[in-house]
């Protein structure tokens, strides 16, 4: 079995420290949320960030996207958003005159064909639209007109949502929730952090400007894929795996839980 070399581990740690520092140029505080997001990135997982409006959920995703030279797309989820607005659709190209055919179908790829997808306020769209991400997040592909089209790698979904009791929100289906590796709760900053936020966003900046100017790209596609490859080489003792499995299985019979943790 292939093992991680010490120099590879040192290099990976340096990359992650640099990425963490660049994201911190825009996101004040919220260190735990930043660290958990980087864990999900390395583990090839997706994250769901929850918090009341105005706490920097979208800013965290934008800062991470700007700190990496990866393709980035943002979808603002609204009640009238359709699944085809996310995955894409087929367009009929009308044949030229005298051709004799009706035309050909041309697939128009949606914003999901990217490396980092920000699903902003995902729970403001109904379940029909949210289900467009089920195949995307699990199988890293989109089926359009009967053809499976793979997504570029690396691929990560960063979704933000407001608390379910917020006006105009829909609950996420269990199948959708199960596809997120981590749910990150973002709370209010401390007094000193809030002072720093106000200074950062008002010092020679208009109110509609985000403090993203200082964030510089420091990781490219090859480096992110290398980090994910190294994560696959981490070995876990059989006793650790057995302990984790027993914890997950115990939740299925735990009083008060309607459904426990699944194998995924």
* Core vs surface per residue 196-213: b (16+ CB within 10 A) or e: ebeebbeeeeeeeebbee
Contact 11, 18 (CB under 8 A): no
Distance separating alpha carbons of residues 80 and 126, to the nearest angstrom: 8
Contacts of 169 (CB under 8 A, 6+ apart): 123, 124, 161, 162, 163
Contact 104, 114 (CB under 8 A): no
- pLDDT confidence of residue 102: 66
Which two three-digit tokens encode residue 122? 């995902």
- pLDDT confidence of residue 238: 94
Distance separating alpha carbons of residues 244 and 241, to the nearest angstrom: 5
Domain spans, the chain: 6-233
Beta strands 141-144 and 72-76: pairing type?
A: unpaired
- pLDDT confidence of residue 208: 54
Helix/strand/coil for 258 = coil
- pLDDT confidence of residue 14: 92
Instruction: Report CA-CA distances (Å) from 37 to 34, 181, 183, 214, 243.
Output: 5, 10, 10, 20, 25
pLDDT tens string, the chain, 264 residues long: the values are 577 888 888 898 999 999 998 888 878 778 888 889 999 999 999 999 888 777 777 788 888 888 888 888 888 888 888 888 888 877 777 755 556 566 677 777 888 898 999 888 888 888 888 888 888 888 888 888 778 888 888 999 998 887 766 666 777 888 888 889 999 888 888 888 888 777 777 776 665 556 677 788 888 888 999 999 998 888 889 999 999 999 999 998 888 887 788 887
- pLDDT confidence of residue 175: 81
- Please tell me what DSSP assigns to residue 254: -
- Looking at the structure, give the CATH architecture of the domain made up of residues 6-233: 3-Layer(aba) Sandwich (3.40)
Backbone angles phi, psi at 185, to 5 degrees: -95, 125
- Please tell me what DSSP assigns to residue 24: T
Distance separating alpha carbons of residues 76 and 81, to the nearest angstrom: 9
Instruction: Report CA-CA distances (Å) from 30 to 39, 62, 165, 203, 215.
Output: 14, 15, 23, 21, 16
Instruction: Report CA-CA distances (Å) from 241 to 2, 40, 237, 248, 249.
Output: 19, 19, 6, 11, 12
Contact 144, 150 (CB under 8 A): no
Helix/strand/coil for 76 = strand
Concatenate the DSSP letters of all residues of 98-129 into one string.
T--S-EEEEEEE-TTSSSEEEEETGGGS-HHH
């Amino acid at each position: 079995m292939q093992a991680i070399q010490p120099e590879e581990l040192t290099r990976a740690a340096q990359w992650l420290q640099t990425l963490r520092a660049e994201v911190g140029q825009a996101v004040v505080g919220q260190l735990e949320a930043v660290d958990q997001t980087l864990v999900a990135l390395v583990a090839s997982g997706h994250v769901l960030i929850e918090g009341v409006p105005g706490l920097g959920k979208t800013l965290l995703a934008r800062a991470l996207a700007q700190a990496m030279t990866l393709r980035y797309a943002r979808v603002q989820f609204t009640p009238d958003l359709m699944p085809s607005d996310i995955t894409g659709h087929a367009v009929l190209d009308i044949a030229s005159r005298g051709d004799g055919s009706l035309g050909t179908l041309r697939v128009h790829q949606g914003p999901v064909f990217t490396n980092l997808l920000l699903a902003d306020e995902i729970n403001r769209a109904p379940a029909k639209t949210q289900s467009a991400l089920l195949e995307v997040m699990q199988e890293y592909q989109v089926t359009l007109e009967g053809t499976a089209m793979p997504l570029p790698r690396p691929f990560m979904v960063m979704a933000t949502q407001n608390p379910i009791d917020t006006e105009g929100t829909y609950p996420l289906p269990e199948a959708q929730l199960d596809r997120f590796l981590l749910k990150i709760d973002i709370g209010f900053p401390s007094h000193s952090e809030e002072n720093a936020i106000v200074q950062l966003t008002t010092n020679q900046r208009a109110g509609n400007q985000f403090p993203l100017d200082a964030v510089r790209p420091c990781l490219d596609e090859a480096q992110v894929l290398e980090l994910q490859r190294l994560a696959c080489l981490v070995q876990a003792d059989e006793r650790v795996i057995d302990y984790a499995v027993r914890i997950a299985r115990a939740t299925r019979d735990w009083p008060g839980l309607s459904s426990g943790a699944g194998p995924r």
